[in-house]
Amino acid sequence: MAEDPRWLSEQEMKAWSGFLAASALVERRVDQQLREDAGLSHTQYEILVRLSAAPEGSLRMTELAGALLNSKSGLTYQMTQLEKAGLTERRSCPTDVRGVFAVLTEAGRRKLEQAAPGHVAVVRAALIDVLTPEQLAVLGEGLGEVSRRLRE
């Protein structure tokens, strides 16, 4: 026998609606700023960030896709765009014929350094500076828990 749905309370609905609206609006604002100021999509910027933080500026494509929560085909498209701009390149894995590495180029590192200040400014204006330190702590803890559970 099917269980009755647990409908959202007024408080739960307010939280859910607020999350949906805020996440869409922050994403839109961040993407718009990066496109206007750096000629990058938010996903492309995140690729550059992940590669810059990796040892030797290089990650396996499968590892990068997992870190970005992106499909392999979506990552392939973005990497192609970044390669055309000279910001990344792909290299074969010397020990695994199926393995491919995404590699940050020097031009990619310079582009990231140029884009980062504007990106941080828009993230602060759209989210960080809007909330109190207490609200940020609760948000970080709560969304961190959601991420952990969904990754399981």
The pLDDT profile of the chain, 152 residues, written as one tens digit per residue, is 568 899 999 999 999 999 999 999 999 999 999 999 999 999 999 999 999 999 999 999 989 998 888 777 888 999 999 999 999 999 987 777 778 999 999 999 999 999 999 999 999 999 999 999 999 999 999 999 999 999 88
What angle in degrees, to the nearest 10, is found between the helix axes of 42-53 and 106-126? 120
74-to-12, 17, 105 alpha-carbon distances in Å: 33, 27, 20
Identify the residue whose tokens are 């999350």: 19
Q: What pLDDT, on the 0 to 100 scale, is given for residue 74? A: 86
pLDDT of residue 53: 96
Q: pTM of the full predicted structure?
A: 0.90
Count Cβ atoms below 10 Å from residue 102 Cβ, excluding itself: 27
Residues 6+ apart with CB under 8 A from 122: 29, 30, 33
State the Cα–Cα distance between residues 64 and 50, nearest whole angstrom.
7
For position 1, what pLDDT does the model report? 59
> What's the fold here for domain 34-151?
Arc Repressor Mutant, subunit A (1.10.10)
The shares of helix, strand and coil residues in the chain, as percent rounded to the nearest 5, are: 70, 10, 15
Give the start-to-end residue ranges of the domains of the chain: 34-151
According to the model, what pLDDT value does residue 71 have? 79
